Amino acid sequence: MSFWDGILSAATGTALTSVLLGALYAALQWFLRATDIKIGYNWKWQGADFYPSLDVRNRSSSRTYLLANIKYTRKSGREVVWFDNKSIWGKELKPGSINYFDDVAPVPGVTSAALCGDVEVTIRLQNGREFWLKGQGPGQLRRGRLQKAAFWLRDKIERSAIPVER
């Protein structure tokens, strides 16, 4: 191997290593962002008024989020029931916090437990990120296969006491 072949080989190896490490860093950042907020809810009622009580967990150890609003829809988001812009607006999700919101406004038009199962709840953060929840019994975050796998992996890592974030 000549001198210039060695230089070319070293430069190519360094560039490929940099690209690989950059891709791994980007994948880790996606993983942490995709699994840092976990939302669950259940329907509650008082008289004929039905409303969700929200369990919002910020599993990030460094990011603070602000909640924006709640959108209620039916038929996979095609039929809008109502926007609640006041109940959770500006509520802060501090890093590592578990928040329970029981003071959400009642949903107009939802007057029975049977109607609650048809309503989908979308929680939006002030940075534009949305979490779509389907309300059949206790609601949980709707996820695709990749995100389900990411949540499973993060739960597994946290149970084994290996810190994912600083």
Q: Where are the domains of the chain?
A: 1-34, 37-159
* E strand intervals along 21-141: 37-46, 49-58, 65-74, 79-84, 92-93, 98-101, 120-125, 130-134, 139-140
pLDDT bucket at 14, cuts 50 / 70 / 90? very high
- The model's pLDDT over 87-112, given as tens digits with 9 standing for 90+, comes to 999 999 999 899 999 889 999 988 88
- The model's pLDDT over 18-70, given as tens digits with 9 standing for 90+, comes to 999 999 998 888 877 777 888 888 889 998 899 989 999 898 888 899 999 99
Contacts of 133 (CB under 8 A, 6+ apart): 39, 41, 120, 121, 122, 123, 139, 140, 141, 142
User: Mutual orientation of helices 145-159 and 3-34 as an angle, nearest 10°?
Assistant: 90
- Indicate the pTM of the whole model: 0.71
Fold of 37-159: Immunoglobulin-like (2.60.40)
User: What's the average model confidence in pLDDT over 113-127?
Assistant: 87
* Distance of alpha carbon 104 from alpha carbon 72, whole angstroms: 12
- Whether pLDDT at 17 is above 60: yes
Ramachandran angles phi, psi of 136, nearest 5°: -115, 100
Q: Which helix (H) or strand (E) holds 151?
A: helix 145-159
